[in-house]
A and B are shown apart, each in its own frame.
Chain A
Amino acid sequence: MIEKQTAISIRNLHKSFGDRKILDGINLDIYAGETFVIMGPSGCGKSTLLRHLIGALKPDSGQVFFGDKDLSKLSETQLDQIRKKFGMSFQSSALLDSLSVEDNVSLPLREHTHLDPNIISIIVKMKLALVGLRGVEHLMTSMLSGGMRKRVGLARAIAMDPEIVFYDEPTAGLDPVMSAVIDHLILDLSKKLLITSVVVTHDMNSVFRIADRVAMLHLGKVLEVGTPDEIKNSKNKIVQQFIKGEIEGPMSVIEKEEHSMTEVTE
Chain B
Amino acid sequence: MKQILHLFENVGTWTKNYTIVLVEFIRLSSEIIYWVIAGFFRGRPVNHAHVFEQMVFMGAKSIGIVFFVTFFTGVVLAMQSAYQLSQFGATIYVASLVSISLCRELGPVLTALVIAGRIGAAITAEIGSMKVTEQIEALETMAINPVRYLMVPKLLSLLIMLPCLTIIGDYSGMMGGYLVGVFNLDINSTLYIQTSLKFLDLKDIYTGLSKSFVFAAIIALVGCYQGIKTKGGAVGVGQATTRSVVVSFILIIVADCVLTGFYYFSNM
Hey, which bits of chain A sit against chain B, CB under 8 A? 54, 56, 79-81, 83-84, 86, 88, 90-92, 94-98, 107-108, 111-112, 156, 160
Contact = CB atoms under 8 A, between A and B. Distances in A.
A8 to B, nearest CB: 15
A96 B135 contact: yes
Nearest to B142: A108
Contacts, number: 49
A107 B134 contact: no
5 contacts: A90-B137, A94-B138, A95-B135, A96-B138, A98-B126
Interface string B145-168: 100010000000000000000000
A64 B116 CA distance: 44
B259 to A, nearest CB: 34
Interface residues of B, number: 15
A88 B141 contact: yes
A110 to B, nearest CB: 9
Contacts of A56: 137, 140-141
Interface of B: 126, 130, 133-135, 137-145, 149
Contacts of B145: 80
A266 to B, nearest CB: 10
A107 B144 contact: yes
B35 to A, nearest CB: 13
Most A CB atoms within 10 A — which of B133, B143, B145?
Answer: B143
A96 B136 CA distance: 9
Contacts of A112: 143
A142 to B, nearest CB: 12
The 6 closest A-B pairs by CB, nearest first: A94-B138, A80-B143, A94-B134, A83-B143, A88-B141, A108-B142
A88 B138 contact: yes
Contacts of A107: 142, 144
Given A96-B130, A108-B142, A156-B142, 16 more contacts: A54-B141, A79-B143, A80-B145, A81-B143, A83-B140, A83-B141, A88-B141, A94-B134, A94-B137, A95-B138, A96-B135, A97-B135, A98-B126, A107-B142, A111-B142, A160-B142
A92 B137 CA distance: 11
Given A94-B133, A96-B135, A111 B149 contact: yes
B143 A84 contact: yes
Contacts of A81: 143
Nearest to B130: A96
Contacts of B141: 54, 56, 83, 86, 88
Contacts of B144: 107-108, 111
A65 to B, nearest CB: 18
B254 to A, nearest CB: 33
A180 to B, nearest CB: 24
Contacts of A54: 141
Contacts of A96: 130, 135, 138-139
